[in-house]
Structure formats: structure tokens, C-alpha cells
Amino acid sequence: MPTTLLTLRDSLTQLTLAPELGASLVNWVRLSDGRALLRHSDEQALDAANPRRLACYPLLPWSNRIGGGGFATPAGWQSLSANTDHEPLPIHGSAWQQPWQVVDVTSDSASLQLDSQVPFPYRATLQVGLANGCLRLSLHATHLGQQPTWYGLGLHPYLPRTTHTRVQAKADGVWLCGEDKLSSHWVELPEAWNFAEPRLLPQQLVDNAFSHWPGDARIIQTDAGYQLVCHAHGADVFLLFCPQGQNFFCFEPVTHPVNAHHLPQRPGLQLLAPGQTCRLHFSLQYQALAG
């Protein structure tokens, strides 16, 4: 069955959304020439009906991987199972694997909602808006279970990568991972991963959470003549994923490091009582580069 797409547009850009595919963004392009501002999703990617092949999707009620078969809550143990066929651990929560409902849509905005029972009851909303080349995403999760539990949020944008792509984003440190891809320990930022000033992406694999991030970043695409000026509110961690030999990378604003449920003090997680809500806001402003 063909996927229903929503199309939003402002004076500079156009965005397509697939609510049924985990509230995924499909394509965000520059109107003047169709240049992809997020990774391009072709018809094959859309037909695969897998958000991991599209442009961006929401992460909740946690981001990235959780080890140990689940996590402890004040009410007892929350069991989790692997939720994909490519990862041995549960990853990225459950919202991205469920169809969302359209609450409202206009020419330049959309509001989507998900009522989930997996792995516990919650309501998620994603508000999407375009204005003068700025893409705004607002993600909320409200706990609907009878007992309190831990929540985390994130967004998973895929971005075009060329040999000229540069990133600027300040951070004080980074969580290193073991072979299980789970955070093992925090270290001060190595110089090779210091993006306080714009620099090219590493050639080696990076798949790590950077912490004490003020929320500001720039994705500079010099050869395409533009940059994305980004700002996150409600997240002081970003996960940088740079796979080797690929034409994309991921810059993910998240509320917590990988496997925070099993780290001391559960950094970045929120314990929500019934009816309480957590929020994450992220904007990407398209700007043409001079010259």
C-alpha cells in the first residue's frame, strides 16, 4: 500500500513527511534547485517503509541502545527485547516503528500524535513547521502508565556528506564505547573530535555521544553553497555518527548518552510520573553562503 505523504512548503524549502512510517521526514529540499538539505530518500527507500532509510525520525521513549535486557524503575524491572533484525540490543525506543496520526496540517506546518502501549503507555506529539527556510521540530512525550518510569528523547536526522562537509558544535567531553556499542566511560574531548571551530568530519568511524553541548551547531556544505544553523533546546548531548565510506552522516540532538539507564545517576534521563511530560525542540535554519 502506498505511503501517504504530507508536503509542507515555505518561501525557500519544501518538506515531505510520512506519518505512517514513524513520523519520519522523507525529503527536505531547497526549492531553487531541489538540492537535498537532509539525506535524499528515493522511491526505493520510501517503498522499503523503514525510517532508517529516510531523512529523520523521532527517538522515544529513549535514544540509541540499552543493554542488560531492560532497566530498573521505581516500580520494578522494565524488560526490553531487541526490536530490529540488525541490532542485538533494543534501540531508539518504539515510536519510530509505529504509525502516527495526523492531528492538524497546513501549508507549512503539521502536528502528529502517537498513543503507544509499547514498552509502556505514553503519548507522543511531533510538531513540524517551516518558515523562511527554517525547519522546526518539537517533540513531546507524556507518560500514561500508572507507575513512574524513565524517559529520554532524541531526533535522528541523516545529512548529506561530501569531502567538503564541515561541522561546528562545542562539547566538553565524549562517552567512549566498548565493542557492545554501549557507553563505557566519559573523557574530556580529544582534539581529533573537537568541533568548537568548523572542521571536516573524521574519516574513521565515529558513533559516540558528546556532552555538555550548549545546543548550537552548524552544518556547513561549502560545495553546495549553504549551511544549516541548528539549535536544540532540552538536549545538551549530541550523537555524531560518521560511518566509513558513506555519503551521509548523522547529527542527533538527544537528551542522554547511550545506555544512560545503566550509567551512574542516569545522566539526561527524566523520571516521569503519570501525566508528566518531557520535551525536546530542534531547529535547522537554511542559509545561503556568500559568494
- Whole-model pTM: value is 0.98
CA neighbours closer than 13 Å in the CB half-sphere of residue 176? 8
> Prior bond to 61 cis, omega within 30?
yes
Q: 203-246: per-residue pLDDT in tens?
A: 999 999 999 999 999 999 999 999 999 999 999 999 999 999 99
Query: Which set of grid coordinates corresponds to residue 68?
Result: 542488560
Q: 25-61: per-residue pLDDT in tens?
A: 999 999 999 999 999 999 999 999 999 999 999 999 9
Q: Are 40 and 28 in contact (CB under 8 A)?
A: no
Considering only CA atoms, which of 218, 222, 242 is closest in space to residue 231?
Answer: 218
Which segments of 74-121 are extended strands (E)?
A: 76-79, 101-105, 109-116
Cell 509502556 locates to 120
Query: What pLDDT was estimated at residue 1?
Result: 65
CB < 8 Å & 24+ apart, contacts of 85-91: 89/65, 89/180, 89/181, 89/182, 90/65, 90/66, 91/64, 91/65, 91/66
The torsion defined by the Cα of 182, 172, 202 and 64, in degrees rounded to 10, comes to 30
Query: Which set of grid coordinates corresponds to residue 199?
Result: 572542521
Using the Cα atoms of residue 138, residue 148, residue 102 and residue 254 in order, give the sign of their dihedral.
positive
DSSP-assigned states of every residue in 266-285? -TT-EEEPTT-EEEEEEEEE
Residues lower than pLDDT 50 in the chain = none
Query: What pLDDT was estimated at residue 2?
Result: 76
Considering only CA atoms, which of 72, 122, 56, 69 is closest in space to residue 94?
Answer: 122
Write phi, then psi, for 235 (nearest 5 degrees): -140, 130
Domains of the chain: 6-162+244-288 (2.70.98.10)
